[in-house]
Structure 1
Amino acid sequence: MGVVQTEGGRVQGQNIPLGLFRSVDVFKGIPFAAKPRTFEKPEPHPGWSGILKATKFAQRCLQISMLQTSSFGSEDCLYLNIWVPHGRNVSSNLPVMIWFYGGGFMVGGSMGPNFLNNYLYSGQEIADRGNVIVVSVGYRVGVLGFLSTGDSSLPGNYGLWDQHAAIAWVHRNIRSFGGDPENITLFGESAGGASVSFQTLSPHNKGLFRRAISQSGVAFCPWAFSSSPRKVALEVAAKLGCPTDDGMIACLRSTDPRNLTMAAPRIEQGSPDHPGVNNLLLSPVVDGDFLPDQPANLFHNAAEIDYLLGVNNMDGHLFTSQDIPSIGQKDRETPVEDLKRLLAAYTKEKGQAAVDVAFAEYSSDWGSQPSQDTIKKTAVDIGTDYIFLVPVQTAVYLHATTATSGRTYSYLLSEPSLMAGPGKPYHDWVGADHADDLQYVFGKPFTTPKAYGDRHRDLSRHMIAYWTNFARTGDPNTGHMEVPVTWPEFDTFSHQYLDIRGVMNDNSTAQKMRVRFMELWTRVIPSLPSNTATEKQ
């Protein structure tokens, strides 16, 4: 296994044989920046002497545990991992794909959940099958990554600066690993997909990457962007006993990072009146620097970037069935009233008029006696549209409208959930839930074959082919891998998209994804008068 020279020093990884004449070099835990100082942008790493043995993943960035009762991880977490494929010859000039994990900007790690050494985000299958270099990176989350006062004293977006530092490091160093610095693609899911979206919009990334893939997340998602960050900063300060006047910033900076992490706003169990997605309060902001303006006004920065993005057809299932638990319970009825309460929470500045309009649209094909399945499925549609589909499609439209040389590709993943069906926890109508795409993009049906059927291996093959072809050429149809169906480019006239599933055929392309509901959320509801009574509360 050769030693690679990087700007910080020499690194040595591990070579993993994958069969005849195929292997992949894996480098784990290479630092791309120094240990970050609290609420500061990342600084360059001072480097090391000798050879860095890059054989162990670094710790996750400091974050709150699932039960929100403790924290784990480290402040020293700005490291990346690299997978380099090899055939008979040494690779050079390979396309590079940089992965950003999801986790609501609150949690997450580039290793993914570790289950019997089965790392969810192992880049091995993508690298080997698509003949691309895969890089995964750590970035700060929670209070340390995204606390902001909404002004220059604590501008926020530290996690986005970390990602930017990683992109810049890859651009400067990847040639030594056999990668092409002029052909870098960012990809990510959920908060990682939104991160990719923010990176395309920031003027700071000019010339650093060429393409981008956002899975189930963009800057417009209601949870991905904070327009009133100061309120959260004041709450965090109060929790820590810091003053909320001029002394606040100094006090926060000198607080132990673990205590800062634990002072994050609690993520409460949602209800139809207070959907859980509204609890994700630490997220990117307009800071006047990384994001100089509202996201909608920054698409000129992405005009030359090829962009592939989409959602899962039931992305909202995970969230909506927590807000309305009866949705997921096969023996309980979901009252229609709960759907109206959910709509009221999503449109609260618009008051009752918005609820009436939206409910009429969502129930328009119910007939007089809607079944429980119909009611529950409609609730999931409402959540999917509001939390993911409409914001993502808005980004699709805006990119296609402002792009110069950049191409736009839109998709819907509709493979039924593995958890759905008789004898399984989900109703048999449940489609692709939030995060269902990850296992297919990362090739899990190949690494853990017993858990999957042949159609899931086909689906994984399709997704890796489209994703890596796109990274290679900017067109998901052309590259090293065969695809089952030609994916048409999205244009502002035909609005075409690809419906991705295990079995694909001539019916896999469609137009104008959920256009009635796009109209409802982007035109009809915003044009209603604001309800001043709710604003006073």
Structure 2
Amino acid sequence: MAMLGIMLAAALCLGSASAASLGTVLTEGGLVSGDNYGVSGLFRYMDVFRGIPFAAPPGRFEKPKPHPGWDGILKAKNFSKRCLQVNLLMTDTRGAEDCLYLNVWVPQGLKVVSTNLPVMVYMYGGGFLLGGSSGANFLNNYLYDGEQIANRGRVIVVTPNYRVGTLGFLSTGDDGLPGNYGLWDQHAAIAWVHRNIRAFGGDPDNITVFGESAGAVSVNLQLISPKNKGLIRRGISQSGVALCSWAINRNPREVAELVAAKVGCPTDDKMAACLKMTDPVALTLAGSLNMHGSADAPLVNNLVLSPVIDGDFLPDEPSNLFVNAAEMDYIIGANDMDGHLFAGLDVPSLNQPLQHTPLEDLKTLVAALTKEKGPKGADLAFNEYSHTWGDKPTKEEIKRAVVEVETDYIFLVPTQAALYQHNSVATTGRTYSYLFSQPSRNPLNPSWMGADHAEDLQFVFGKPFTTPLAYWPKHRDVSGYMIAYWTNFAKTGDPNKGESKVPVTWPAFNKETHQYVDINHSMDGNSVKQKMRLRFVNYWTNTYASLPTIYE
């Protein structure tokens, strides 16, 4: 055994001495060098480039411009700063205006560098207010580290920054400040990847854009914008689509005037010029979000610094632009209790195990979410979510209904609408639907909790493999399943076909069978299901939508 260990160590040493590595790469801006290191798996290595500029430092409220380039070799070894944004507590700012950088993970074997690999470009979430290309960091364990996806799926992973908050999405609704600067940043990153990724061993004609929450909405908007024609092959939207109520701000002028008032700018025709000259930190803080939701003022209604229909990047309503994604393959899904994060802020008693949630709180919440349709909309919606109750609903029934209402309204129903929309216009593009239902690992959550908002991210990015002591074997199972489905899809457009074995064949979505796959650690033949929450999808998209609008 000792001799075997010595031989294996010698083999690994020899392997590392001759490990395949890109070394210095020539990009359009100049030469870049990164890091190369061994990863899990025999004779597996990873080239990583952190902080490559994909555009010039952006002008205030301007579209990104090409980077002028650099002399010598750029050492791309550290993540760049986030784009300037408010902190989680909305009390201060972090990041910088000079932030348009991206990171690249390239899997390598022992002797020959990889070529023609599929490319996966990740767009982070954060309500269009927060976020960064490396994600949250704990002891140098970055959430959006692409190593596990790249290594296990043999794909290139790219994570770009984009502007958020006031500097990314403030709009006056006209040519003064047209908005969507964050979307233009994303587009610039995708275009940079298309032009440069071949030098890293990637296939520029096989780019999959994937993202979560606001990043998932961004993916949908990138797929349907005519600006990306020929750049994107596929997309994956996790908990967010362009049809979500919070995806598009239809009254941007009102938000711009509120920000202007906070920073001392006029609200007349001089507003845009004044805002452009205002201190960026003051502008960013002026766009902070009121995080104190309530049953009568739900948090989701505060997400107002978001994309706009600008007549340029988005020339029309998103529902009219899906035809631009007719040839793109698209995975769309949600978490089974995506709304819990919001519901817990709107109705605090929800997460107090010894407290009842008053029935009136549920009724108030429903009325606030259905305000535009008036009392009839509220009554009909409440009847839908209480139709299985007896005369005296239990504490759990009321609390679950609060979560279900917010999950359906904010995420799940728009997701289903987007699936139908894409499938109905698709020519060669395939559509796939999923529900992520791995129970929450948060010990403070109630026993009936499923998967909360953003809980899928740790599994997609392979954290159960990176930090194995923090997870059970079942968590590594579900992480392996998601990475296999996602990377097979990036390779072939079919989540079942590729180098990675999957636990269940995932059928494509169509309007006849309405099939989807339920993703969790115990997947088997029963994981393929039909007609996800059809009663509630029908209610919101047909009955509710057909009611007359009373309040704009």
Report the TM-score, using the length of structure 2 for normalisation: 0.95
| Aligned residue runs from structure 1 range 238-257, under 5 A | 238-257=261-280
1:301 maps onto 2:320 in alignment:
no
User: Do 1:265 and 1:281's aligned partners in 2 also have CA atoms closer than 8 Å?
Assistant: no
Residue deviations 1:29-83 (CA, integer Å, cap 9, x gap): 0000000000000000000000000000000000001111111100000000000
User: Do 1:96 and 1:184's aligned partners in 2 also have CA atoms closer than 8 Å?
Assistant: yes
1:234 maps onto 2:222 in alignment:
no
Q: Secondary structure at the match of 1:351?
A: helix
Which of residues 48, 58, 61 is equivalent to 1:39? 61
Residue 505 (structure 1) aligns with: 524
User: Do 1:232 and 1:265's aligned partners in 2 also have CA atoms closer than 8 Å?
Assistant: no
Residue 438 (structure 1) aligns with: 457
Q: Secondary structure at the match of 1:223?
A: coil
| Aligned residue runs from structure 1 range 21-36, under 5 A | 21-36=43-58
Residue deviations 1:470-510 (CA, integer Å, cap 9, x gap): 00000000001000000000011111100000010110011
| Aligned residue runs from structure 1 range 87-236, under 5 A | 87-88=109-110, 89-236=112-259
Residue 107 (structure 2) aligns with: 85
Q: Secondary structure at the match of 1:287?
A: coil
Which of residues 357, 362, 378 is equivalent to 1:339? 362
1:64 maps onto 2:86 in alignment:
yes
1:53 maps onto 2:72 in alignment:
no
AA aligned to 2:130 is V
1:517 maps onto 2:536 in alignment:
yes
Q: How far apart, CA to CA, are the structure 1 residues paired with 2:288 and 2:144? A: 28
1:6 maps onto 2:27 in alignment:
yes
Which of residues 350, 356, 368 is equivalent to 1:327? 350
Which runs of no fewer than 5 residues in structure 1 stay unpaired?
none
Q: How far apart, CA to CA, are the structure 1 residues paired with 2:377 and 2:37? A: 57
Q: Secondary structure at the match of 2:456?
A: helix
Residue 312 (structure 1) aligns with: 335
1:429 maps onto 2:437 in alignment:
no
Q: How far apart, CA to CA, are the structure 2 residues paired with 1:454 and 1:308? A: 26
Report the TM-score, using the length of structure 1 for normalisation: 0.98
Which runs of no fewer than 5 residues in structure 2 stay unpaired?
1-20
Residue deviations 1:9-43 (CA, integer Å, cap 9, x gap): 00000002114310100000000000000000000
Deviation at 1:263, TM superposition (A): 1.0
Q: How far apart, CA to CA, are the structure 2 residues paired with 1:30 and 1:361? A: 51
Deviation at 1:265, TM superposition (A): 4.7
AA aligned to 2:90 is Q
Q: Secondary structure at the match of 1:230?
A: helix
Greater displacement, 360-369 / 272-281: 360-369
User: Do 1:223 and 1:281's aligned partners in 2 also have CA atoms closer than 8 Å?
Assistant: yes
1:496 maps onto 2:515 in alignment:
yes
Greater displacement, 21-30 / 147-156: 147-156
User: Do 2:49 and 2:103's aligned partners in 1 also have CA atoms closer than 8 Å?
Assistant: yes
User: Do 2:86 and 2:288's aligned partners in 1 also have CA atoms closer than 8 Å?
Assistant: no
Which of residues 455, 458, 469 is equivalent to 2:488? 469
Q: How far apart, CA to CA, are the structure 2 residues paired with 1:502 and 1:201? A: 33
Greater displacement, 344-353 / 259-268: 259-268
Task: Kindly tell me the number of residue pairs found equivalent between the two proteins.
Answer: 529
AA aligned to 2:464 is P
Q: How far apart, CA to CA, are the structure 2 residues paired with 1:371 and 1:149? A: 48
AA aligned to 1:87 is G
User: Do 2:25 and 2:200's aligned partners in 1 also have CA atoms closer than 8 Å?
Assistant: yes
Supply the RMSD in Å over aligned alpha carbons.
0.8
Which of residues 508, 527, 530 is equivalent to 2:546? 527
AA aligned to 1:71 is T
Residue 371 (structure 1) aligns with: 394
Deviation at 1:247, TM superposition (A): 1.0
Deviation at 1:144, TM superposition (A): 0.3
AA aligned to 2:27 is T
Q: Secondary structure at the match of 1:436?
A: coil
User: Do 2:485 and 2:502's aligned partners in 1 also have CA atoms closer than 8 Å?
Assistant: yes
Residue 76 (structure 1) aligns with: 98
User: Do 1:236 and 1:265's aligned partners in 2 also have CA atoms closer than 8 Å?
Assistant: no
